[in-house]
Structure 1
Amino acid sequence: MAASKKEALLLCLDVGTGMKDSTNNQSTSLDLCIHVISTLVQRKIFSQSKDEVSLVLFGTNETSNPLNQEDEESYQNISIAFSLGCPNFELLHYLSNDLKPGVLETDFVDALTVSLDHLHKETRYKKISSCRIVLFTNFCHPTSDENLDGIIGGFNTDGMNVQLDVISSFTINKLLSNEDDNPSHSGDDQPGTSTHRRPDRGELPCGEKPKSANQQAGEGIITRMHRGGVQGDCYTLREAVKAVMGFEKCSVRSAKWKCNLTLGSHLSIPCCAYIKTKEAKLKQTWKKCHAKTHKKEDITSNIFYYIDDDEKTEVTKENLGKGYKYGKDIITFGTEDEKQMKFAACDKCLSILGFTDMRNVHVIHHMDDQAHVVIPEAGDEHAGTALSALCTAMVKQNLCAVACHVYRKGSNPKLVALLPKVKLGSHYLVMVSLPFAEDVRPLSFESLFSGKNKQPSEEQLQLAEDLISSMDFTQSEDGIFKAKEKMNPTFQRTFQCLDHRLKHPDSKLPDLNQLINDSVSISHPTSVETLLDKINEKFPVILNKKPQTSHEAWINNKSDVADPDKEEKPGVSVSAHIRNEQTTSIGTVTTDQDFVEILQNGSLPSNEAFDQMEQRIKEFVSDSFVEVLKYKILKCLVTFMEQTNKMNATDRSKRFMNKIKQIVLATNPTLWNFLKENGIQDDSDSSDDEMMTSDRVIGDEADALLDMME
């Protein structure tokens, strides 16, 4: 596999007095340059790029560079702040907090000389594919063009061409034509390194001030360097800030998967599969970090297992076993079961099982988060001919292949669809995963046009069609919608928060970046808004009343003809009577109410009602979520004892309470303590009178208790 391209990027920043000029009375040129550099470093870090970055400052109060150590009288006030290496958060922290402006003036030509020397020394023994110097200055300092030819030669030595990009506060015009050196030639006929149109002579770009003598001299030197063979471009600060808006996405190189495409036992085509599309996911390399050392390796974790009981007995990992819970039962799943159910290992393969019509493979059947492109192996003409013939035949008959895909030996097999594609004379297959029969959940829905009243009119159909057409990106003025140019809002927000937390560890996270907000916001044209208003008018939403049941209709009719002078008994109504007649079993939601209603209505014999109530209470006590149900248990016990007292069945209440006590003490003693604290006492040795609910929870106390629980 070919090595990935690796760039050496040197950022040369002017921090002298000339960079303190303000742009539109807001940020200084130095602040804007630091913002651009910080964003460039962030893009390198978050895109997980292998490029290396270096930072050189000129105009500093101190001097730190190898050339000055050789000759202390030259190359002063130039410092290598960050040697060439992988960009990290320390460099970002330095740019945000530690970088201080200088008070001296330094020639940018000397800074370029130091930068070139540093690049050549640091990249000599590294596998670097390209080198680039980005110069940030506004050329406000005096400069000299001595030994300029030697510097130009330094950009093209040792077989390495160093590119020079210049970012300044004004537009450099002389890069765009040779008109100043040769007036007889038109600038439109000369090649240039910048794509920007040069303004006419005497014309200044909007918002720019006239250039000083130093700026014109610096502009001339940059022009001579580019005309002398130095490659690069020039940008204004405004253009640079706009160009680095948003974080760069990760660069991914797809590795090929080699396998033979088999059809039957006689046809085998050597092929390679490449990932065409795949869901982008964040690599959480910064998820764990030690608070003091900032290293993931300094964090250790120990896992302990305990039984969910009062003693919290510890269990070793060797004594653990797999299990699946079905309802309240836990079904164990041992190693022997796993071996029997595991798929028998086979070698990697891509074997066609059969063919089917393209209409049988819908988009909703596509699974997984990626799709592959299957092409013939490079250099194999026979494989290319065979795959081309197969794709052509499938396209003519509108067929796709269903195949078995095993990535490597021991991997689980996947069911895939191979869709033929013929594009610009090339033939290939698109491989997408399909579900097995057990993974499909067929759902049937009633047709929207099942009734005559639901049939849309021609006007409504036309409005819907117009709305779809107005939202078609392919017909917009900006051209076809390009997904590659859209930023992932999840990534952008994550990187924004990481950057803010690095610079401001104690402050709250900022609001969503306006750039990210604009990318996810939908701006509807005026025509769409007008269509939406018409659709709301032509498709009115009417709330239909729920049809009355026979019982509700009977109740309403009875209430209309009821005698207003006849008083109804308190607590009893016709609707309640109808509801009570329908209650024939005790449920789990309103258990106490169902129990009382059955006894009052007589829909079941009292003994059967008591049996159902006892069974429900036992189920609640034995439930695994007993802590959640403890108030329901208390309420049911109070209601049970009240009803047994009313029906003179205290003996039954006593026997049942003894059973409940034994069950609760054996499984959850804390529940019994809770019941005792709320009025349920152990009266097994007391007289029947003490056992009666009326002696323990009576009158207003019972009502107050029930009100508290409700």
Structure 2
Amino acid sequence: MAKDLIVLCIDTGPSMGHITAGQAESPLSLSIKIATTMLQQKIFYPTKDEFALVLFGTRETANDLADDDGNYANISIVQKFSQPDLPLLQYLLEEVKHSDISSDFIDALIVSLDLFQKCSGRINEKKIYMFTDAGCPFDDQDQLDQVLTGLNKHSIDLTIIGPDLSPSHDSAMNGSDYHPGDGDNKPGKMVHKSKAQRAGEEILQRIISQGDFASFSFSEALKALTHIKKTQLRQTTVFRGDIEIGPDYKIPTYGYLRVKENKVSSWKKLSAISQCSTNPGSMEVTLARTHHLGDEEQTEISKDQMVKGFRFGKNLIPFASYDLSSTAEPHLKCLQVIGFSRCEFIKRHHFIGDSIVTFVPPVTEGSQAFSSFAQALYEMNCTAIVRYCFRKNANPKLGCLYPHIRPDYTELLFFQLPYAEDIREFTFASLNESEHSQEEIESMDDFLDSMDLSEAFIDPTGDRCEAFEPKYVPNPHIHRMFQCTSHRALNKDSDLPKLDPLINDYLNPTFPGRTNVKNCLEMIQNLCPLIEIGDKKTKKANIFKKDIETGAAPVSEELIENMDIDEALSSDVSKVGSINPVKDFEELSKKHGMFRLACEQMQECIISLIKESFSDQNYPKAISCIESYREVCVKFKQPAMLNKFLQSFRNKIIGSSDNPRDQRHQAFLTLLVKEDITLISKNECDCDVTLEEARLFLQTLHSISTEVDAKNETQDDEVDDLLENM
């Protein structure tokens, strides 16, 4: 690949360090800022371009043309041609200082020309950027002719950055000294120029006028470099073939990428341990990946022991390598016309893909047929529907060819179209236009007109033109990455800089002539007010706001913060379970029409806890269930449910005193009496049970448990006697 050779020739003489009126920085500071920006952009987008650095006006002399007679003195070649790197940037920022010695800028040009004599290889362009304020001395006419001859002979582009050398500038000033403002809104100021600067500018103007060279002032150069310029790509084709119109008619064509997203280089993982070492090296981390089985030994397997699989439902269907090769049908490279369609039938929202390809005719006899084909499509307002496969065995694409005709060239632009599976059909309710008044529609029309970008920008000549043209709008992400990366490379310990004002202007645009935008917005807000509608939360979403009791005040925020997860999920209870029966029962009983069912399930849970208890393990839980059952019945004024259950409770647990069915849980009756859990009486709730009857119930339970204990003791004594007799 061919490379560019670039020489940065910077003046470091006395005049370069002076800050004159109307300038915020010295010429040398501006020169270093411009040169470092150029190098940073080349480093950010790596290329094979090579830079050389030449300083003139230095105390020392370091170049191959210098001799003992003082020729080419005070000119130093800091670096010969090599790819730009971080040390060169740091040298420019830290080591380049102005001196009190002047040097001939024509001699500096000759030294720069001499650097090209010793270069070989494939060279694309040769460039010299000379930074000077023309305040240094210069040699006679013979040296100047030698420079012009060398520049033209070797096809070297010379760009002078410093004073404004444009003819219009001189004629406008009529020979007076003038310095333009640094910004668009800053007025220019009169400055004083020395006699040497006037003479130096005349020589530089002669160089510009006698060759196809360019010149920029410091402010113009800085403004031109605010946009990050991506490395110029080689004009390589992505397709070379024929446009096939039927089986017998083919038009040769070349395809180039017209638009493709430019992405920033990916991040690299570095080793922090290497960074702290004395010899960090590249610090790059190598990623190694191995595959292991899910057994206890974590057996490692190689790639040849693996096979790919496609998920089919819950199963993985294995596909061997020969199966994978047979799944893809072979495709030949082609650009076949399937048919034609009018442009209005191809919707712009159907354009897909990450790039746009332009097809142009090669320089052959087929260019006339290509032009006729494109002209016919343009005149009939049609587009060609094509099958495009850019190389053999690539996935074919469905697309369309749009004609794009200009006075100096003709091309066909390819846009990829979706297949049926790519289109997502959504049904949306339509708006009723009759509901909008004419005033509302006109206010929106005025707003759209005020935001029109086609004439929103005013150029330096005062003419209105389009704002935000893509070719002039930089990518904010790339620009910010460039800004931060360059700053971090040169300032390792300082904070990252603020957003560049240029990018900030693109993110927060303000244009002249758009002062009525605010008025239009206020009018729309008055005519079409936006009413905030609260979220329609489901019952599950309102469990934290639900009242604890029917008719009670809402739950406080403090109570919500202290609520546990069991309480939050209690609204989904549909059955009294054995894990947390008390909370399940209390929550289920609150639901409308569920009280009787909750009581029945609570009774079953209590009986189950007692009968399935190993010894007295479940007794405390059963007691808490009965207490909760009693409280809820009193609360809902349903004492009959509990009283009826307790009256039959002793028979369900141990049976009657005459015919005991199960005497293993008589200890639970003792615990029930001990906890003083009895029937609900008239003193607690409106019912038929008196306080005496409730007390009698406890006495009955106590007597039953006593009789059972006595019988058990008698049986134990008889067993002991029998064992003694044996």
Same fold by TM-score greater than 0.5: yes
Is 2:49–2:83's contact at 8 Å kept on the other side of the alignment? Answer: yes
CA distance in 2, matches of 1:506, 1:207: 39
The change in CA–CA distance for 1:325 and 1:419 in structure 2 (over 3 A counts) is same
Q: Which amino acid aligns with 2:90?
A: H
CA distance in 2, matches of 1:605, 1:431: 74
Identity of aligned residues (%): 27
Does the alignment pair 1:443 with 2:443?
no
How many residues matched? Answer: 574
1:137-165 CA-to-partner distances (Å, cap 9, x unmatched) read 234444443743453344346x3143433
Does the alignment pair 1:151 with 2:151?
no
Does the alignment pair 1:510 with 2:506?
no
Does the alignment pair 1:346 with 2:346?
no
Match of 1:40 in 2: 38
Match of 1:94 in 2: 91
Match of 2:445 in 1: 465
CA distance in 2, matches of 1:369, 1:648: 68
Match of 2:118 in 1: 122
1:556-605 CA-to-partner distances (Å, cap 9, x unmatched) read xxxxx9999xxxxxxxxxxxxxx999965999xx9998897558869699
Is 1:167–1:235's contact at 8 Å kept on the other side of the alignment? Answer: yes
CA distance in 2, matches of 1:426, 1:236: 35
CA distance in 1, matches of 2:575, 2:98: 83
What stretches of structure 1 of length at least 5 have no aligned partner? 177-193, 551-560, 565-578, 611-641, 655-686, 700-710
**Partner SS for 2:616:** helix
The change in CA–CA distance for 1:196 and 1:150 in structure 2 (over 3 A counts) is closer
State how 1:196-275 maps to structure 2 within 5 Å: 198-202=172-176, 204-205=178-179, 206-226=188-208, 229-256=210-237, 257-275=239-257
State how 1:504-583 maps to structure 2 within 5 Å: 504-523=491-510, 525-544=514-533
The change in CA–CA distance for 1:59 and 1:275 in structure 2 (over 3 A counts) is same
Bigger drift between 337-346 and 642-651 goes to 642-651
CA distance in 2, matches of 1:534, 1:446: 27
Match of 2:385 in 1: 402
Match of 2:286 in 1: 300
The change in CA–CA distance for 1:401 and 1:19 in structure 2 (over 3 A counts) is closer
CA distance in 2, matches of 1:698, 1:547: 37
**Partner SS for 2:454:** helix
Q: Which amino acid aligns with 2:608?
A: N
The change in CA–CA distance for 1:29 and 1:267 in structure 2 (over 3 A counts) is closer
Q: Which amino acid aligns with 2:258?
A: K
CA distance in 1, matches of 2:23, 2:114: 37
CA distance in 2, matches of 1:689, 1:288: 65
Please, which of 479, 489, 496 is the counterpart of residue 465 of structure 2? 479
**1:303 Cα offset (Å):** 1.2
The change in CA–CA distance for 1:38 and 1:597 in structure 2 (over 3 A counts) is same
**1:546 Cα offset (Å):** 8.2
**1:539 Cα offset (Å):** 0.9
CA distance in 2, matches of 1:331, 1:146: 84
**1:65 Cα offset (Å):** 0.9
The change in CA–CA distance for 1:415 and 1:510 in structure 2 (over 3 A counts) is same
Higher RCO, Cα 8 Å, sep 6+: 1
The change in CA–CA distance for 1:109 and 1:442 in structure 2 (over 3 A counts) is same
Q: Which amino acid aligns with 1:648?
A: S
Q: Which amino acid aligns with 2:75?
A: I
Match of 2:608 in 1: 648
State how 1:319-334 maps to structure 2 within 5 Å: 319-323=305-309, 329=314, 331-334=316-319
Is 1:143–1:214's contact at 8 Å kept on the other side of the alignment? Answer: no
**1:548 Cα offset (Å):** 12
CA distance in 2, matches of 1:10, 1:325: 60
CA distance in 2, matches of 1:537, 1:301: 60
The change in CA–CA distance for 1:603 and 1:426 in structure 2 (over 3 A counts) is farther
The change in CA–CA distance for 1:99 and 1:332 in structure 2 (over 3 A counts) is farther
CA distance in 1, matches of 2:603, 2:492: 64
CA distance in 1, matches of 2:453, 2:465: 7
Match of 2:564 in 1: none
RMSD over aligned CA atoms reads: 4.5
Match of 2:641 in 1: none
Bigger drift between 238-247 and 597-606 goes to 597-606
**Partner SS for 2:173:** coil
The change in CA–CA distance for 1:547 and 1:51 in structure 2 (over 3 A counts) is closer
**Partner SS for 2:101:** coil
Q: Which amino acid aligns with 1:273?
A: G
The change in CA–CA distance for 1:507 and 1:593 in structure 2 (over 3 A counts) is farther
**1:497 Cα offset (Å):** 1.4
State how 1:587-626 maps to structure 2 within 5 Å: 597=587
CA distance in 2, matches of 1:283, 1:368: 21
1:465-508 CA-to-partner distances (Å, cap 9, x unmatched) read 12222222223343124221111112111111111111012223
Match of 2:650 in 1: none
Q: Which amino acid aligns with 2:394?
A: S
The change in CA–CA distance for 1:598 and 1:10 in structure 2 (over 3 A counts) is same
Q: Which amino acid aligns with 1:44?
A: K
**Partner SS for 1:689:** coil
Is 2:269–2:285's contact at 8 Å kept on the other side of the alignment? Answer: no
CA distance in 1, matches of 2:253, 2:473: 33
**1:531 Cα offset (Å):** 0.9
Please, which of 399, 412, 417 is the counterpart of residue 429 of structure 1? 412
CA distance in 2, matches of 1:231, 1:398: 44
1:510-543 CA-to-partner distances (Å, cap 9, x unmatched) read 2211122112222252011211111111111123
The TM-score with structure 1 as length reference comes to: 0.69
Is 2:178–2:190's contact at 8 Å kept on the other side of the alignment? Answer: yes
**Partner SS for 1:66:** coil
Match of 1:12 in 2: 9
Is 2:581–2:605's contact at 8 Å kept on the other side of the alignment? Answer: no
**1:313 Cα offset (Å):** 5.6
The change in CA–CA distance for 1:309 and 1:235 in structure 2 (over 3 A counts) is same
Match of 1:414 in 2: 397
Is 1:152–1:230's contact at 8 Å kept on the other side of the alignment? Answer: no
Does the alignment pair 1:77 with 2:74?
yes
**1:273 Cα offset (Å):** 2.0
**1:260 Cα offset (Å):** 2.1
Q: Which amino acid aligns with 2:262?
A: A
Q: Which amino acid aligns with 1:504?
A: N
Q: Which amino acid aligns with 1:60?
A: T
Q: Which amino acid aligns with 1:410?
A: N
Does the alignment pair 1:282 with 2:264?
yes
**1:459 Cα offset (Å):** 1.1
Q: Which amino acid aligns with 1:15?
A: T
The change in CA–CA distance for 1:416 and 1:196 in structure 2 (over 3 A counts) is farther
Q: Which amino acid aligns with 1:280?
A: N
Bigger drift between 14-23 and 297-306 goes to 297-306
CA distance in 2, matches of 1:11, 1:606: 93
1:654-676 CA-to-partner distances (Å, cap 9, x unmatched) read 9xxxxxxxxxxxxxxxxxxxxxx
Is 2:609–2:618's contact at 8 Å kept on the other side of the alignment? Answer: no
CA distance in 2, matches of 1:428, 1:604: 81
